Each structure stands twice: as C-alpha cells, then as structure tokens.
A and B are shown apart, each in its own frame.
Chain A
Amino acid sequence: MLQKLYDWVDERLDITPIWRDIADHEVPEHVNPAHHFSAFVYCFGGLTFFVTVIQVLSGMFLTMYYVPDIENAWHSVQYLQSQVAHGQIVRGMHHWGASVVIVMIFLHTLRVFFQGAYKKPRELNWIVGVLLFFVMFGLGFTGYLLPWDNKAFFATQVGLEIAESVPVIGTDIKTLLAGDPDIVGAQTLTRFFAIHVFFLPAALFGLMALHFIMIRRQGISGPL
C-alpha cells in the first residue's frame, strides 16, 4: 500500500533523488558510534538540530501567552510560569534549550575545526556554519530581553552600549535595534521580539537549509 502510494507520487514527481538524500543513503563506518565509540563526536551537529527543533516548538507555544509590550510582557511571563498548566516546563525548555544549543553548536564547531573538515571542498559550508553560530548568539541576545525583568533590561542596555561603541555606524546599529538612540523601552521590546521571532529564525532556516543541502551534496568528510 505504502509502496504503491510512493510509486504513484514518484512517477509524477521523481522524488527518489530527494528521498535518497534525506533517508536512503549509507552511513560510513567512521562516523558510526556503533563501530567506533569515538565517533560520538559526530552527534553534536545532529543534537544541535534536535535542540533547535525543541526551541522552535517550545517558542511557538510560548508566543501563545507572551505579550510583547512593556506593560504586560513581564506579567504574561509571570502568568505563564505560575498559572498556566506546564507553562513552567515549556518556558524551562526554551530557556535551558538556549544554553544547550550554544553548547552543542560550540562542540560541533570544535569537532569540525580540529578534524580539519572545513578544508577544500567544504569552505562554503564552514562559512554558513559560522554564520549559524552568529545567528544563534543573536537569538540568545534578543530572547534575553523578552521577559522584561531587571536582568533582561539591564543586560540589554549593556549589550546596546557595546553595539554603540562600534565606530561610525554604532549609533545607527543601536537605533536600528532599540528604536531610539537613547531610550531602552517600548520600541526596543517590540523590535527585539520581531527580530527574535521573525527575522533571525528566517535567517536560521535559510542557513540551515543551505547547510544540509551542502552536506548531502558533499557527504561527510572522510576519516582522518
């Protein structure tokens, strides 16, 4: 039945190459922890993706309650974690997941670096990977403000001062992020929310797609 359905779709869309790339390929011995335990270092990239999925799902549920407005933001988070069923767990997953994703992406970067896997022909994939790292940092920075508690507010103020110290364009960067060259307030919160929920995830998904397409094109780098 399933095979028939597959054949029916395949005849019309020729999905076999796509299917092969996603699923029907071989896993070489040197990356398989079942054969060499040390190959667990190849798990970090996959775990980064896994935690990113957790982040996306938990974040989607958080926006069901979160209100990006300085009057209500803090109260909505307080309500979410004290009144909503499992709200504490969902917020916890998103909060701790942010840390785990940074740890995993860091370990993945170190694995790729020390194995020299970024060398020809994989230079472009390395660059996309480092950009993904930056996007993750950006997501961490913008997400930190959203609960609108003291910790969030003052850390963001410091972060914006750091952005401001950039020569020539510093004040423009700060204004772009905060909505005002001096005030950290209502505009800042809505902008950080927009950046955290729309702009950076869009960049993240685009870069992730490139990352995965390039991996499937080139395959995993060979053993050292």
Chain B
Amino acid sequence: MHRGKGMKFVGDSRVQDKEQRNTIPKDYSEYPGRTEAFWPNYLLKEWLVGAVFLIGFLCYVAATPVSLEQQADPNNAAYIPLPDWYFLFLYELLKFEFAAAEYIIIGTVGIPGLAFGALLLAPFLDTKPGRRPSQRPIATGMMLIGVLATIWLTYESVVAVDWDTREEYSVDNMVEHEVDETHPGYEVYSQNCMSCHGGSLEGEPGLGPDLLDLPHTADTIAEISVEGIGDMPAGMFEGTDEELEHLANFIVENTDTDDGEGEDEDTEE
C-alpha cells in the first residue's frame, strides 16, 4: 500500500483524496490485437447472447414439464433406484465386479477419489510451463480417458434403464382411488395384499396389478386370494374364513372407480 508523508485523505477516513488517486487504468497491452471495452460495448453483446440462451432455456422448460413420482414409500421393496443423470457414471461404476461387494471401497472412494483428487491437484501434477495440449501429453491423455470413461459409463447406465416402466412411476399415471379404511376387510387387506396391490388397490409397478373395476364376485375373489391366478402364487392369504369373507367383501365394495362419491378426478386425462 502507498504510504508516506503528505498523503491527503477524505475527512478522517482511510480513503485517499481524489487528487492523489492512481488513475492509470490496467491495460492488456501484453495481448496484441483489438481489445474492446467491457463496458458498455462488450457487455451489450454478452447480454444479447444471454437473452437468446435464456429464451432457449425457457422454451425447453415450458415444453418439458418436470415429472413428480409418487410420494416416497420406504416399504416399496420393488423400486429400482435411479439417481440424477450426472451421478449415473458413479452408479454404473459400482456395478463392476472389481468395484462392488467386498471391493466397494475401490468403487466409492478409490477410483473417484483418485480421479477427482488428480483433477483438484492438476496444477501441481503438471507443472511445466507449456500450455498447449500437445506439450503435455500425459495430462491431456489422462483427461481424455477420464472424460471418455465418464461419458461411456453414463451412456451404458442410460441404455440399461427401462424408461417406459419408469414412466409408470410418474404421478400423472397414478390411479387416484380412495378406499373405505374403516371396512373390517381393510385390516385383512393391508396384512395380506397391500405389499403387491398398493395401499388403495392402485397396484404396485413391477409387483402386482391394480384391483380396480374387477369383474369378479366376492366368492371368486376369495378363491383367487387363496389359490392365486396368473403370476400370483397360491397361499398369499393367511387367516380365518371369516377374515377371507371380509377381505372379499372389502375388495368388491371398493373396486369400482366410476360410481364412487366425489371421485371425479379420476376422469382427468
């Protein structure tokens, strides 16, 4: 800091008097060529680019509504987890044999730690003054390998996902249905059937179909819950005959989606 006798300040502050301030602007004379003032010339152009970018971004946002899935259900054992796309490379890495199970540390700490540690410390690993990529083949090569590996892992992970099934998880495809939870059969239902057919007969993607608008009578339903049907194995129901009767009545009384009171929401889309 400039100091010495004869300096003048604004009042009793530490701001220098206007006459004495160093007014020489920093210049870019070391870069030969056509420099341009940032303010206002360059900023105006930058603003135009920014505006075009913003319009494009907003068009994309308006055209692509964000999906919301059904509310988190920690008991949903069939759900296949999927992170946001920029974590898929790590997700895919952990599928490799050498990076999973007892070697999980290699996949979660070893490889990512090495890669991101090297990225963080790049200036100290690559200390020669040459800046062109061709002057530092090792650094350039490592980075290319890292980027290609990340892209490839992400790609592999994306193609392995069954996106059509995941669509079913969306709240837009959720069947809105309310059941009579005071019915004596509801208790039986929640113990025997809910894990595959959902809390309100709406079904569970990948596990069991919905039980809405079933054509069966109470007797047939009781029979199916004991003996199974299609992919449903026999013996899913465990309980007394009285409970079975309650269960069958509960399903028959709550299966209709049309004539329930005030359930107009079902008809949207």
Contact = CB atoms under 8 A, between A and B. Distances in A.
B84 A184 contact: no
A206 interface: no
A151 B129 contact: no
B72 A120 contact: no
A157 B74 CA distance: 10
Nearest to A154: B81
B53 A50 contact: yes
A151 B66 contact: no
Contacts, number: 219
A96 interface: yes
Interface residues of B, number: 83
A77 B25 CA distance: 51
A122 to B, nearest CB: 8
Interface in A130-166: 130-131, 134, 137, 140-141, 144, 147-155, 157-159, 162, 165-166
A26 B62 CA distance: 38
Interface stretch (B115-123, B177-185, B217-225, B234-242): B115-123
B66 A95 contact: yes
Interface SS of chain A: helix
A28 B25 contact: no
A129 B266 CA distance: 50
Contacts of A96: 57, 60-61, 64, 66
Interface in A17-70: 20, 23-30, 32, 34-35, 43, 46-47, 50-51, 54, 70
Contacts of A162: 90, 94, 108
B124 interface: yes
A117 interface: yes
Given A27-B42, A74-B72, A149-B72, A158 B81 contact: yes
Given A149-B71, A150-B71, A153-B73, 9 more contacts: A34-B45, A35-B34, A46-B50, A47-B50, A75-B71, A93-B58, A110-B147, A149-B70, A155-B83
Interface of B: 10, 13, 15-16, 18, 21, 23, 25-28, 30-39, 42-43, 45-46, 49-50, 53-54, 57-58, 60-62, 64-66, 68-74, 76, 79-87, 90-91, 94, 104-105, 108-109, 116, 119-124, 126-127, 129-133, 135-136, 139-140, 143, 147, 169, 171
Q: Which 7 A-B pairs have the closest CB atoms?
A: A116-B131, A29-B33, A153-B72, A123-B123, A154-B81, A23-B39, A149-B69
